[in-house]
Homo-oligomer: A and B are copies of this chain.
């Protein structure tokens, strides 16, 4: 699965320029609000009679008719918002600035319920299984590396987002920085277990975060307090990285790792911008995060 480094990075940049000119975010959310039924009428014009026992289910036909019934409406919104969340996880969405208003309750219920924890646990187990299979052999040269993002990957800022609409509010850098400086983010348990297992297998761990250098002290303290130790390097955004997208900044840092002779075998992040770009990991793991999007 050679994903082409620089070419793809450039393509990503060009795309953002293209999208800036186009109808991306607002329209995407408007589409979501309009619901999923609009595709049907046009499509039907092209359909000949189908001799099939099983038809694709017509999801919205009934729901539209019963839009006044509260119970049905709730089910419908939940299905639509589950689709939105799935699309986010599969990297199908245009860049978005906040959770669509109608999906705020869905996202709140997800991240505070059992599904988020279960999703995190499964990704960690798949990561660990891969790590064991890909682990450095006896004659390791100490150059096998695993990259971890920090926020919503090793540490959870859920208490902060609970105070700010679970992603339904626009991101406030100032307030979030205040939260970071408290150093109270909690370890994601499955990630802590994975982190220690990966280290035990002989990988060098690199923590690559979008947090700025100004937060290095409290970040080290917070990570240590939560059980994360002995990383090879903790990389934070320097002043010169501030204008870069996360995709570009993190790609550059991975490029440097490879230039130093490291082989990046695993990469864990809750954003696609943690995982895509150049010097991509042999295998990447996308942790769930429906609360925010970082380009």
Q: How far is the CB of A159 from chain B (nearest CB, A)?
A: 5
Q: A2-B277, A8-B280, A36-B118 are in contact. List 19 more A-B contacts (CB 8 A).
A: A1-B272, A3-B277, A4-B278, A18-B134, A19-B133, A24-B130, A31-B126, A36-B121, A36-B122, A43-B189, A47-B227, A59-B115, A60-B114, A82-B118, A86-B89, A87-B122, A90-B123, A91-B286, A92-B122
A123 to B94 Cα, complex, angstroms: 10
A212 within 8 Å of B (CB atoms): no
Q: Which residues of A5-40 have CB atoms within 8 Å of chain B's CB atoms? A: 8, 11, 14-15, 18-19, 21-24, 27-28, 31-32, 36-37, 39-40
A94 touches B130 (CB 8 A): yes
Q: Which of A190-198, A202-210, A231-239 contacts B (4 or more CB under 8 A)?
A: A190-198
**Residue among A22, A56, A60 with max Cβ neighbours from chain B (10 Å):** A56
> In the complex, are the beta carbons of A247 and B119 less than 8 A apart?
no
Q: Does A46 contact B (CB under 8 A)?
A: yes
Complex partner residue of A89 from B50, B89, B125, B186, CB under 8 angstroms: B89
A57 partner, pick from B37, B52, B116, B288, beta carbons under 8 A: B116
**Which residues does chain B contribute within 8 Å of A116, judged by CB atoms?**
56-57
List of B residues within 8 angstroms of A190 by Cβ: 36, 39, 43
The 3 closest A-B pairs by CB, nearest first: A22-B133, A46-B227, A36-B121
Contact A27 B283 (CB under 8 A): no
A92 contact set on B, CB distance < 8 A: 122-123, 126-127, 285-286
Q: Contacts A115-B79, A118-B79, A119-B83 given: A188-B56 contact, CB under 8 Å?
A: yes
* CB-based contact A23/B133 at 8 Å: yes
Interface residues on A, range: 35 or more
Whether A187 touches B117, Cβ cut-off 8 Å, given contacts A86-B288, A122-B87, is no
B162 contacts A56, C-beta separation under 8 Å: no
- For A280, the chain B residues whose CB sits under 8 A away are 3-4, 8, 11
User: Copy number in this complex?
Assistant: 2
Chain B: minimal CB distance from A164 (Å): 12
Closest chain B CB from A218 CB (angstroms): 15
Given contact pairs A3-B280, A51-B184, A56-B189, A80 touches B118 in the complex (Cβ within 8 A): yes
